[in-house]
Amino acid sequence: MTDLIDSLPTDRDLSDDEWRFLIEGDYDRQRLYDKADKVRRQHYGTDVYIRGLIEISSFCKNDCLYCGIRRSNAKAGRYRLSREEIYACCAQGYELGFRTFVLQGGEDSYHTTEWVAGIVSSIKERYPDCAVTLSLGERPREDYEIWHKAGADRYLLRHETASRPHYQKLHPPEQTFEHRMECLYHLKQIGYQTGAGFMVGSPFQETKELIADMRFLREFQPHMVGIGPFIPHHDTPFSDCSSGTLEQTLTMVALTRLILPQALIPATTALGTIHPQGRELGLKAGANVVMPNLSPVAVRGQYSLYDNKICTGEEAAECIGCMKRRVAAAGYRITIDRGDVKLF
């Protein structure tokens, strides 16, 4: 079966047994990571793209059972950045070399369609050479269209799990798998560079769910894929669950690189949280993006999705300096570029 790794990437779908072997089998994972790294270098060389992450609100009307900022968590600190604060983050980010700004937040009803559109168009006016990525959850198709017209280039909406029964175990009944998926298809149809993604090691997840994730990615062909370990948050129903592991997460990053050779795949903050070298190891297993935090340090601790999140005390300049050293030590190079997906 280890010949299977040599045969990747392949156009054919793998069988259940083949997927099962690759995901949980007893074999030398370094071979898989090296193969993923080789494929990543064929398409992107040693370039690592940086995205300036601006966490614009910790208010959320959703109640995902795993998330520290879920609406039922009465202990969560809540904040919302003003327009001026967001522009100040962008100004600082631009100086530091960022050419993509990611506006991410809980699903905050204060963020009306017009409010977000105004901010997107203003950022694009100030920085025409920059890409704007939104990650503001599930919205009506019309909102996505208006924001795209306002200039938003990309949208991140992790599918979280490609199994409907599993999705239902992670979310309350009013949050449906169908709606999440419908939003993803809308985003792609509208013309966004679209990001899907999932947590590794989330409660109730088994290998069959990870196989479903791989099959969904193959079918949907997202441009970006965010993959991070699940990490418990002490004030959620999953507080006693264990985190996803480093090996399992790196395996899924590498397999994703092999089924989507051109994808933009971040080495996530969550990966850096479960292991001191997690992000470097992610890069060496096929990831090619890092997302240092540009949010004001005063509010960082309140965007608490899971426990022990790293980089909550560092200023943006310290974070990018640290990231540059880490990326270089891993054998790659941070690139000052919008970092769009390379399509044939």
Interface with ligand FES (CB under 6 A): 292, 311, 314, 318-319, 322-323
Determine if 59 is a binding residue for ligand SAM (CB under 6 A): no
Among residues 117 and 227, whose Cβ is nearest to ligand SAM?
227
Q: Which is nearer to ligand FES, 81 or 319 (CB)?
A: 319
**Can you tell me which of 52, 137, 201, 278 binds ligand SAM, judged by CB under 6 A?**
137
What φ, ψ does residue 288 adopt, rounded to 5°?
-140, 20
Q: Are 229 and 274 in contact (CB under 8 A)?
A: yes
CA dihedral 318, 322, 324, 330 (to 10 degrees): -170
Q: Does 209 bind ligand SAM (CB under 6 A)?
A: no
**Binding status of residue 271 toward ligand SAM by CB under 6 A:** no
Nearer to ligand SAM, 107 or 213 (CB): 107
Cβ neighbours around 165 below 10 Å, total: 10
Comparing every residue's Cβ against ligand FES, the nearest one is 322
Helix (H) or strand (E) holding 102: strand 100-105
- Taking the C-alpha atoms of residue 296 and residue 211, their distance in angstroms, rounded to an integer, is 38
Q: Does 147 bind ligand SAM (CB under 6 A)?
A: no
In the chain, DSSP finds a helix count (H) and a strand count (E) of 14, 9
**Residue in 59, 230, 280, 296 binding ligand SAM, rule: CB under 6 A:** 230
10 Å CB burial of residue 315 (0-12, 13-18, 19+) is middle
How far apart are CB 202 and ligand SAM at their closest, in Å?
8
In the complex, what is the shortest distance from the CB of residue 109 to ligand FES, in angstroms, rounded to a whole number?
31
Which residue, among 37, 227, 222, 193, has the nearest Cα to 102 in the 3D structure?
193
Please, which residue, 223 or 309, has the CB nearer to ligand FES?
A: 309
Give residues in contact with ligand SAM (CB under 6 A).
66-67, 104, 106-107, 135, 137, 157-158, 160, 199, 228, 230-231, 233, 270, 305-306
